[in-house]
Amino acid sequence: MRAGCGADARSVAERMQPAALRAAADPPGLARHCVLFAAMVCCALASAAPPANAQQEEGWGYALANELMSPWCPGFALPDCSSGYASELRLWILEQERLGRSEDEVKAEILAKYGEQMLQAPSARGRGILAYAIPAALILAGGAVLVVFLRKQGGAPAPAPSAAALDPALLSRVEAEIEASNRDA
């Protein structure tokens, strides 16, 4: 064994240590992932909200017509349907409002005539409650899986090997390669 090998062994260990310190300084943290997830949820909610300066029409007639689906144009809201029947129904709703009927009476009459498929969102009773409960349950389950996954990923980094734990033959080989690379450079 050469003189000064201990000093060279420490320098190899010291060269290896900064990489271990860099890995320990930036572990995959649960807090960072949670902040990112919260930011994504906020962006999704903000994009789903109507603009603050959106003009609201007077009365409940326009609001009711906007929340109904068209029975003549499947997949379209009543105001978006180009059918003459849809136009007549929109005008009929506005006329009922002008005559002083309540929104609930008019809505009940329309649903009795055309059925529950007129609603853009299912009612929160009976089987319609599943349309609200299932996505909520899936979001909660996904969040729980995400938390468990991130906690397992956020473990402590592996400790850096000490100079004493390295094989002396391996150390001498590494030192020889480092010296050879320094001479070539």
| Residue 172 within any structural domain of the chain | no
Burial class from Cβ neighbours inside 10 Å (0-12, 13-18, 19+) for residue 50 reads exposed
| Residue 156 within any structural domain of the chain | no
Q: Is the dihedral of CA 52, 57, 60, 61 positive or negative?
A: negative
pLDDT digits (tens, 9 = 90+) for 58-98: 689 899 988 898 888 888 888 999 889 999 999 999 999 99
| Residue 112 within any structural domain of the chain | yes
pLDDT digits (tens, 9 = 90+) for 128-184: 777 778 899 999 999 999 999 988 887 666 677 665 677 888 889 999 999 999 988
Domain total in the chain: 1
| Residue 115 within any structural domain of the chain | yes
CATH number at residue 125: 1.10.8.640
CA distance 141 to 155: 22
| Residue 61 within any structural domain of the chain | yes
| Residue 101 within any structural domain of the chain | yes
pLDDT recorded at residue 151: 86
| Residue 146 within any structural domain of the chain | no
Angle formed at CA 104 by CA 108 and CA 82, multiple of 5 degrees: 65
pLDDT digits (tens, 9 = 90+) for 19-58: 544 444 445 566 676 677 877 777 777 766 555 444 444 6
pLDDT recorded at residue 110: 92
pLDDT recorded at residue 90: 92
Domain of 128 in residue numbering reads as: 57-140
| Element (DSSP H or E) covering residue 92 | helix 84-98
For residue 18, pLDDT over 90 is answered with: no
| Residue 49 within any structural domain of the chain | no
pLDDT recorded at residue 155: 67
